[in-house]
Structure 1
Amino acid sequence: MGYTGKAVLAHFGAYRPDQITTSLCRKYVTNRTADGKSQGTIHTELGHLRSAMRFAVKERIIDKAPSIERPAKPTPKERYLEKEEIAALIDAASAPHIALAIHLLFATAGRIGAVLDLTWERVDFQRGIINLRLDDSNTRKGRAIVPMNSGIRAALQTAHDAALSDYVVEYAGGKVKNIRKGFEAACRRAELDGVTLHTIRHSSAVAMVSNGVPLEKVAQYLGHSNVAITYQTYARFAPDHLQDAAEILDFVQIREA
């Protein structure tokens, strides 16, 4: 909210909620598009404005929320990385905390917020698990408890031996708030285009599903509370997905029989 609010307030800040119109929203879309912002970014920014207005109604700050017109949500990108590309991305990271964050993102299939919030007390080397959950967390996004593989265990052990703070991903002895610049620089050095931080989580899910991990397990690993979301997004990557249905529609076998 704080990040997108900078752009939203520059355009809407001088208006009362009841003065926000469809034409004003469309002008915002035109201006942000001219600034080179993607349709997805603009959709998110106006969505945050809509959420703020609805919150204001709920808190009785205003009587009525204005209608916020947004551009259509773009079709999700299908970009995902193979294991070799993930390894190249880690190697291309110029700072240890960026490399560790990328490794954790792939190994846990977690979101960046969960990885940057991770503290050593929730890394259990004896049991071999990583707990991405926060006991007092108010986040809407699900977080999971996942096992360590040998690669991330070794990376975590190295980081733990040199730790200067309670946070797993740290810089200069403090918590890291954002790795976007370092991540984008690593992508450029690894010559990977169209890759975002969320691409890594998506890549983790695709890797599990395409190698035959049941979708119910993948849902648990991703922290999805509703397995239907996992099926909707990742079922098509399963090696045998719909194969039985395709066999039923094979008329050549019928003729030969």
Structure 2
Amino acid sequence: MPQPAKGARLHKFKHRQYWYIRDTGQPDRSTGCTSRIEAEKALAAYIATRGRQGAANEPENVTCGEVLAIYAEEHAPTVADPVRIGYAIEALLPFWSDLKLSHVKGETCRRYAKWRDNAPATSRRELGVLQAAMNYAHREGYVTSAPIVTLPPKPEGTLRWLTRDEAARLLWAAYRGHKSQHLARFILIGLYTGTRKDAILRMGFEPNTVGGWFDLERGVMYRKSDAERSTKKRRTPSRIPRQLAAHLRRWKAEGCTWAVEYQGGRIGDIKRAFPKAVAEAGLEGVTPHTLKHTAITWALHNGATIWDAAGFFATSAETIEKVYGHQAPDYQDSALRAVERAK
């Protein structure tokens, strides 16, 4: 009696570095991957597209893992920040990998959010990637339809900003650590410009292909390079405040190439240094994004208009008004005067 076909699977030859895909009746094909995890993604993409001949499959015949693999392989490389998609897929796969698209429904999505046991906003982002992957597969003709993902309720936005005293404590905690003085530079730039973390860490003193740069001669900060792809996160130029310009000139005179660097090299992330400084400063609920909140809040306290704040901080006027508008000294001023005059 013939043995049943084993189907597509991964195989590692003893003296070869790459993983291979073996499939009954087909020649072995290299995945080009030395990592088992990456090879499994290649296998999922192979299974998802095998023998289709251009015909779309029904949702009950395709797994979420296959769709996520297609999304990672075909779409992620075309976006400005594929790493974010990668993080989400890495979180999604342990739960969704073997489930069919037809299993995507409210109950399963709620079970995933409970299984993840993390911040609702994080689960929302991850499930959003699953929805985007299914939509992509449908749009590209891999599946006949894309189920609707049920997202956790959107959490109420919290606006944590630093007082002047808290900002001083955070700066001092960063500065006194001999291995984290680069963090003090990051904090100063964030407080004065309200620029996002990734953009700050890519800033240099000359035009470059990595990110933006400080034009100290003209007093303008360019938040991204000409080579970078635009994203939904606005990174428009803005003028450099004179207090920050003084620090920047000093750093450049010291021979620095990057605004935030350590021993001559650009700092890629502050995921350990920043929380450590926050703890040493005795603060709670403070993240790198808090610096943006702080910069905008301080500006509105000092009388900046919503229109000017939107341009300077590369944030839409609608967001400034919705999230920070109540911080302006004239918030609801005309309405209050009208009510107080009422008889």
* TM-score exceeds 0.5: yes
Contact 2:194 2:291 in 1 (8 A): yes
CA change 1:102–1:59 in 2 (3 A) is farther
- Of 138-147 and 10-19, deviating more is 10-19
Contact 2:239 2:312 in 1 (8 A): no
What's the secondary structure of 2:192's corresponding residue?
Answer: helix
* Paired letter, 2:123: I
Q: Give matches, 1:132-151, under 5 Å.
A: 132-136=223-227, 137-151=229-243
Aligned to 1:113: 198
CA change 1:55–1:176 in 2 (3 A) is farther
User: Which whole-Å CA distance do the structure 2 matches of 1:18 and 1:171 have between them?
Assistant: 50
CA change 1:56–1:7 in 2 (3 A) is same
Gaps spanning 5+ residues in structure 1: where?
none
* Paired letter, 1:103: L
Q: Give matches, 1:88-237, under 5 Å.
A: 88-93=169-174, 94=177, 95-121=180-206, 122-136=213-227, 137-163=229-255, 166-224=257-315, 226-237=316-327
User: Which whole-Å CA distance do the structure 2 matches of 1:233 and 1:38 have between them?
Assistant: 20
User: Which whole-Å CA distance do the structure 2 matches of 1:115 and 1:147 have between them?
Assistant: 15
CA change 1:59–1:179 in 2 (3 A) is farther
Aligned to 1:27: 111
- Of 2-11 and 151-160, deviating more is 151-160
Runs of 4+ with >4 A deviation: none
- Of 210-219 and 111-120, deviating more is 111-120
How many residues in Structure 1 have an aligned counterpart in Structure 2?
248
User: Which whole-Å CA distance do the structure 1 matches of 2:122 and 2:327 have between them?
Assistant: 27
Among candidates 125, 129, 132, match of residue 44 of structure 1: 125
Q: CA deviation at 1:182?
A: 1.1
Contact 2:105 2:149 in 1 (8 A): yes
Q: Give matches, 1:56-75, under 5 Å.
A: 56-75=137-156
Contact 2:199 2:223 in 1 (8 A): yes
* Paired letter, 2:277: A
* Paired letter, 2:261: E
* Paired letter, 2:139: K
CA change 1:29–1:212 in 2 (3 A) is same
* Paired letter, 1:140: K
Gaps spanning 5+ residues in structure 2: where?
1-84, 207-212
Cα deviation 1:191-240 (Å, max 9, x = unaligned) = 1101112111011111111211111000001213x422322222211101
User: Which whole-Å CA distance do the structure 1 matches of 2:98 and 2:263 have between them?
Assistant: 40
CA change 1:15–1:194 in 2 (3 A) is same
Aligned to 2:98: 14
CA change 1:60–1:103 in 2 (3 A) is farther
Question: TM-score, normalising length from structure 1?
Answer: 0.87
User: Which whole-Å CA distance do the structure 1 matches of 2:231 and 2:145 have between them?
Assistant: 26
Identity, % of aligned pairs?
28
Q: CA deviation at 1:162?
A: 4.1
Aligned to 2:31: none
Question: TM-score, normalising length from structure 2?
Answer: 0.66
